[in-house]
Structure 1
Amino acid sequence: MERQKRYAGNKIVYNDQTIKNGVVTVVQSTVISYLPLCGEEANTIWLGGEIAIKQNESGGLQAFHNGVLLE
């Protein structure tokens, strides 16, 4: 089973959608979910600031914090 990582930020931005205080779940550099942060979640890495979600060439979603790909 692939290891999931959760990253929280003050803002999650994807296209014209912005989620304040959100969390992004990533598996092998691919975003599998993004949603509002609802309380304390175990094993979540708090990055602060903005996490940008962008679509790659193959149509998958990837998340970036300060221009760095989240893996």
Structure 2
Amino acid sequence: MDERKLYAANTIVHGDVILRNGVVNIAKGAVQSYSPLDGEQANTIWLGGEIVLKEHDNGELRAFHKGVLLE
């Protein structure tokens, strides 16, 4: 089973890109996608605040909330 998690926050930051009210789709610790939060989405975990996206050494995009890796 492919375990995916959706996390929403007031702000998603990826380099120079700042997305207000966004959602991040994560599978196996890596960001699969991120997009504007469009209404309520089932099984989305609301974190509030800011999610920061950073590129890992292996090239995968990782998401952090308050300095903690989201998995």
TM-score (norm 2): 0.98
**Structure 1 portions without partners, runs of 5+:** none
Instruction: Quote the offset at 1:2 in angstroms.
Output: 1.6
Deviation digits for residues 3-53 of structure 1 (CA, Å, limit 9, x no counterpart): 110000000000000000000000011000000000000000000000000
1:5 is aligned to: 5
Is 1:28–2:28 an aligned residue pair?
yes
Code of the aligned partner of 1:32 = Q
Code of the aligned partner of 1:38 = D
**Structure 2 portions without partners, runs of 5+:** none
1:70 is aligned to: 70
TM-score (norm 1): 0.98
How many residue pairs align between the two structures? 71
2:47 is aligned to: 47
